[in-house]
């Protein structure tokens, strides 16, 4: 079922239901499913559902199906099918048996629609879209019956067959369930269960020109696959009545121990959109660079940014499973990856805004080799070799001509320690015509490698650096929140809340060993943050590193 190690997980109301069902004998095993629509990339909200459905199946020694809800061919694409499979596996899960598609059941779904027609529980309606809305009523007023509601069974069967054969135009008619136009629940007011679409389907080709609606398809697909606990988010709570109505009125499924739907709260995360439609708008309007842009909350985007499967699973566990809607602070997700990388990420040095340092009293033009730990608290991770020589790069923000006592970096006339190396003292500097410092001339104390000055001088500051002759040019992509407001979905126009500083690109240098950095592998760039090599754009010839998360909580 899964690559994820078994671990103790907190209980929740869904697990309590499953425990009771198994104890009472209602079910003897657990069968869940993850049913995404292949009309976009999965996002962090889907990760919660993946962890829930696959995690429950794993913990109860059950099964979890991957089933694509592919009933809307105009918006679906086989590329999305492949990306979803990749995301599920990357998160550490695998599905039971073959991949399933709702389209696998199109023949059966058609027969079940015929069964409802035969029982007088479905009819072909010729109201247009505007008329259908008018007849549906409002939340305060009941709807009224369609003039086609009492068409005979025989005529409805003939009309539905004409729909199947493509003898009506798109939108000319639809098959509706005959339930209750006065129901307080809008979804029960004779909902459409089949509509006409002359669209090529990525699985069934051009076999069908009628396609079942989600509410009709989903419950039957669950029942066919013997799903014991159909888990979905709270926006489908009212639709549970339609879910049950369909199965109650089909002979194959009207049984006590059939599948049941249970709802939990969806994930709402600060500064993030959780609508695939709105995320698609960001992509199509070129507000981001594709579905896997590291600013996107998609699993592919988080992966490219450097989040790990374990950190996302830990996040999903921390936020829990409840029926209460709430807005999760962005810092919760960042804390999960920061804690993991602080523990496991090897250290390295990179200078994002380089200025040159010349050590005037360094005796040789040939760099020496210094050994530095891969991790300060994990000697078992070994060491790495650093070149150290006469010319270095340091970060422009680490030098000041003058500064107060709180500035613990390099100041003219004062000393600072270079990480894993010597103590240096700034003697003079040069700047360009705009006043920007270009070069700092220093001296070094050659007795301070790995130890304090022998005369007892106190050197409090430590800065990072990269030796100039071996430095590798690198591009650093600094990612910030994509939106300036914590609830971007509340705005009519997304452009209003797009953060113009959501991506800042810097050209700097990295220590030589990073030329072999593996895509997606995390490093702590000392004093800068956690970065990984971009999984699309980085190469040995052109290093590109993405900021995963700062060293400290940026949401605080």
214 is in an annotated binding site: yes
275 is in an annotated binding site: yes
Q: CA 551, CA 554: separation in Å to the nearest integer?
A: 9
Domains of the chain: 13-101+215-270+305-332 (3.40.50.620), 106-214 (3.90.800.10), 350-464 (2.40.240.10), 473-549 (2.40.240.10)
Cα distance between residue 542 and residue 38, in whole Å: 34
Question: HSE-up of 370 (CA within 13 Å, CB side)?
Answer: 21
Span 24-33, pLDDT tens digits: 999 999 999 9
- The DSSP secondary-structure symbol of 263 reads E
Closest C-alpha among 215, 230, 236, 239 to residue 102: 215
The closest of 110, 99, 135 to 208, measured between CA atoms, is 110
Q: pLDDT tens-digit profile of 93-126?
A: 999 999 999 999 999 999 999 999 999 999 999 9
69 is in an annotated binding site: yes
39 is in an annotated binding site: yes
Q: Is 47 labelled a binding residue?
A: yes
Mean pLDDT of the chain: 95
Catalytic positions: 37, 266, 276
Nearest to 243 by CA among 264, 226, 225, 221: 221
pLDDT band at 9 (very low <50, low <70, confident <90, very high): low
pLDDT digits (tens, 9 = 90+) for 205-236: 999 999 999 999 999 999 999 999 999 999 99
- The answer on pLDDT for 5 being more than 50 is no
Residue 181 assigned ligand-binding role: no
Residue 342, burial from CB neighbour count under 10 angstroms (0-12, 13-18, 19+):
middle
3-state DSSP helix/strand/coil percent for the chain, to nearest 5? 30, 25, 45
What is the rounded average pLDDT of the residues 309-334? Answer: 95
Q: State whether residue 503 is helix, strand or coil.
A: strand
Assess whether pLDDT exceeds 90 at residue 1. no
Q: Is 87 annotated as a binding residue?
A: no
Closest-CA residue to 216 (of 169, 160, 185, 176): 176
To the question of whether residue 186 is assigned a binding role by annotation, the answer is: no
Rounded CA Rg of the chain: 31
Number of H helices and E strands in the chain, helices first, is 12, 27
């Amino acid at each position: 079922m899964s690559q994820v190690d078994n671990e103790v997980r907190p209980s929740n109301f869904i697990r309590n239901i499953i425990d009771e069902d198994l104890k009472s004998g209602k079910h003897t095993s657990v069968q869940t499913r993850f049913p995404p629509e292949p009309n976009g990339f999965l996002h962090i909200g889907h990760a919660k559902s993946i962890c829930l459905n696959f995690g429950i199946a794993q913990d109860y020694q059950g099964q979890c199906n991957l089933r694509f809800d592919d009933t809307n061919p105009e918006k679906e694409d086989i590329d999305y099918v492949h990306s979803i499979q990749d995301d599920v596996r990357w998160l550490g899960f695998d599905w039971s048996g073959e991949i399933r598609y709702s389209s696998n059941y199109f023949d059966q779904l058609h027969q079940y629609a015929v069964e409802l027609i035969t029982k007088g529980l479905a009819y072909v309606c010729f109201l247009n879209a505007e008329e259908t809305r008018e007849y549906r009523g409002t939340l305060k007023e009941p709807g009224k019956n369609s003039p086609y509601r009492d068409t005979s069974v025989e005529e409805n069967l003939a009309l539905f067959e004409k729909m199947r054969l493509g003898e009506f135009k798109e939108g000319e008619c639809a098959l509706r369930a005959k339930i209750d136009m006065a129901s307080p629940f809008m979804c029960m007011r004779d909902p459409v269960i089949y509509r006409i679409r002359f669209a090529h389907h990525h699985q069934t080709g051009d076999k069908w020109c009628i396609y079942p609606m989600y509410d009709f398809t989903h419950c039957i697909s669950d029942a066919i696959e013997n799903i014991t606990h159909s888990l979905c988010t709270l926006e489908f709570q009212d639709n549970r009545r339609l879910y049950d109505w369909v199965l109650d009125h089909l002979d194959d499924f009207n049984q006590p121990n059939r599948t049941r739907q249970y709802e939990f709260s969806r994930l709402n995360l600060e500064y993030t959109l959780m609508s695939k439609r709105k995320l698609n708008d960001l992509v199509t309007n070129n507000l981001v660079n594709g579905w896997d842009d590291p600013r996107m909350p998609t699993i592919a985007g988080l992966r490219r940014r450097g989040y790990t499967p374990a950190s996302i699973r830990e996040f999903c566990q921390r936020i829990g499973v409840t029926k209460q809607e709430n807005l999760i602070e962005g810092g919760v997700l960042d804390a999960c990856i920061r804690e993991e990388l602080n523990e496991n990420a090897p250290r390295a040095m990179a200078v994002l805004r380089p200025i040159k340092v010349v050590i005037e009293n360094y005796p040789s033009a040939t760099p020496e080799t210094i050994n530095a730990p891969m991790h300060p608290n994990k000697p078992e991770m070994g060491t790495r070799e650093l070149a150290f020589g006469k010319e270095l790069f340091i970060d422009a923000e680490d030098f000041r001509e003058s500064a107060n006592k709180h500035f613990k970096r390099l100041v003219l006339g004062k000393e600072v320690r270079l990480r894993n190396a010597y103590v240096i003292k700034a003697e003079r500097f040069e700047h360009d015509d705009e006043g920007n410092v270009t070069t700092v001339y220093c001296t070094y104390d050659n007795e301070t490698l790995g130890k304090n000055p022998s005369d007892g001088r106190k050197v409090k500051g430590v800065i990072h650096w990269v030796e100039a002759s071996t430095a590798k040019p690198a591009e650093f992509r600094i990612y910030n929140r994509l939106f300036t407001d914590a609830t971007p979905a509340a705005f009519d126009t997304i452009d209003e809340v797009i953060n113009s500083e959501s991506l800042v690109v810097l050209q700097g240098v990295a220590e030589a060993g990073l030329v072999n950095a593996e895509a997606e592998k995390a490093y702590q760039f000392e004093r800068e943050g956690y970065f990984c090599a971009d999984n699309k754009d980085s190469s040995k010839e052109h290093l590109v590193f993405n900021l995963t998360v700062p060293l400290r909580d940026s949401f605080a």
